[in-house]
Structures are given as C-alpha cells and as structure tokens.
Amino acid sequence: MLYQYPINQDKLIIGKFCSIACGATFIFNSANHRQSALSTYTFPLFYEEWQLDKEHVTSAWDNKGDIVIGNDVWIGYEATILSGVTIGDGAIIGAKAVVTKDVPAYSVVGGVPAKEIKRRFDADTIQKLQQIKWWDWPYEKIQRAIPYLKNGDVDHLMD
C-alpha cells in the first residue's frame, strides 16, 4: 500500500476468498496530484514553507475514493490498483496490469491501462453467482459445495 496517509481516511477494502499475488500494489489518493490545477506541484502539502493553512493539505491531490476489492478476486503478480477503483466479485486482474477504472464482476482484465479481455462466464452464470454469494455461507456449507465450486456446476449451488 503506497501513499495511504491517515489524513485522507481512505481505505483498502478486501472481500472474502481473495488471492493477491506477490508484488501487487495499491496506490492511494495522496499519490494523485491535482490535474485540474495549473500546476501539478503539491503546494498545500508544504503548507509551512508556503505559509498556507494546514487544514487544506488534502487539496494537494485529487481524492478518488477507497479501493474496494470484491469477493473471490484474483489479483496477479505485480498488478497495480489505483485509488477509487472497485473490482467486482470473481474478477481476475492479470499480472502487471494497471487498473485505473472499475472492473466488472467475473471479468478478466489485463494490460496498461487494464482493459477487459473476457468474461469468465456467461451472463446467466454470473447472475446466479452474484445471487447466491457463496462466500457468505457458513463454513460447513462451503465445505460441502467445494466439488461444485471446483467443477463449475453453479446449478448445484442453487439448491
């Protein structure tokens, strides 16, 4: 996690059953120099040097929001996730991808910037998976469902 300073109160929210590979990076709001300002220099951050009000420190950067990772997400080797991004349930982030925008549930993205490569399943299967939310089930029910989770038999999970 880079540039996560308490003054922003931004969060990294990670769902259940996620796999995060070595070198994955989450870059928070303080890394976002203001793009709308005439200068990208972070004058408010150096408030003492420039005799500015300390309470305006966070105006030095654009605040794009929290990083939210859904459930059952796989983030590949050295992928980078930027602030304000939400990654949907069941998504796969390719190795070394740079995720700058939200990622739909059950999609596979890759590249710089990351773009959707494909959907993991057809729309009906995705809808069923989002409906049942197996990751919220009790341990025993998940344990019984492992064979179906492994072989892709979503209809048996609907029972």
Catalytic positions are: 33
Q: How many DSSP H helices and E strands does the chain contain?
A: 3, 11
Cross-strand partners of 87? 69, 103
CB 140 within 8 A of CB 123: no
Residue located via tokens 């408010």: 44
Nearest CA among 62, 73, 77, 68 for reference residue 31: 62
